Amino acid sequence: MPLTIFWLILLAGLFFFILKRKRTSLVCGFFSIVWLGMITSPFLPDLLVRSLESRYPSLLDISKLNTNDSVYILVLGAGSADNKSLPPNDRLSPNSLLRLSEAIRLHRLLKSSHLVLRGSVEGENETDSDQFMQTAIALGVEENKIHFLGTPENTRLEAFEFTRKFGTNNTLILVTDAIHMPRAMLLFQKAGQKPIPAPTNHLVKSKQKQDISDWGPSALNIEKMEYAMHEIFGLAWVKTGVRSRGE
């Protein structure tokens, strides 16, 4: 959490000031201001986000896909709200809705494909499955083309649950946020899959040069920095875990 780091450095400076170690206190204060500037301006957040999002291009050309086997389009979970006063699509988090819309786009291009959504069979866990299913059906997906993955708690468990239910011999298209795709690919490969990445919900979309006005401080840049740090440390953790088990 980049703001947490800022406050820790600032509090360290206050601590040293109370101890009358003014030079150390000033150094901490200086670095806290520098860090705040780095995480609120777009340069560092966009640099880190691009380094992750650029690893896998969007899935625009499907002509080379092997459609002889069953094609499963898996949408990784990204949260939802249990509020029945809202329509199903509005209960899904923005990330979930964008992932689902990308999966449906690919499903329409691949007529024989099946959607695999987070949730249990209807009646077991209505909060998850009903929202995803109703939204998919409302957007034109046939109910018999929808399968449920269950409710694993994280991406690693989603990978092993998919393998347990569907095996490793089918064509798998993996849909998740572009920034999350490197870690997701590694985890699914570790589970024995050879997924085809279909990243969506890019945080940095524009390739054009930014105006001077775009370089001002913004809370959006802090949010990008949070996403980037989460994925970078998560990816490092997964790689370290793989090496430690000799895989």
State the fold for domain 71-200.
Rossmann fold (3.40.50)
What six digits make up the tokens of 102?
């990308």
Q: CATH 3.40.50.620 in the chain, residues?
A: 71-200
What's the whole-number mean pLDDT along residues 43-48?
A: 91
Spatial separation of the C-alpha atoms in residues 7 and 225, rounded to whole Å = 15
**Residue 122 pLDDT more than 50?**
no
| Range with the poorest average pLDDT among 3-7, 28-32, 148-152 | 148-152
Quick one: CA torsion of 41, 200, 78, 98, rounded to 10 degrees?
A: 100
pLDDT bracket for residue 214 (50, 70, 90): low
**Span 102-121, average pLDDT:** 85
Mean pLDDT, the chain, integer:
84
Q: Residue 66, by phi and psi: left (phi above 0), alpha (psi -120 to 50) or beta?
A: beta
Q: Provide the pLDDT for residue 212.
A: 59
Q: What is the model's pLDDT at position 246?
A: 39
Q: What is the pLDDT of residues 137-181, one digit of tens each?
A: 888 888 889 998 877 788 899 999 999 999 888 899 999 999 999
**Cα angle: 86, vertex 180, 223; to 5 degrees:** 70
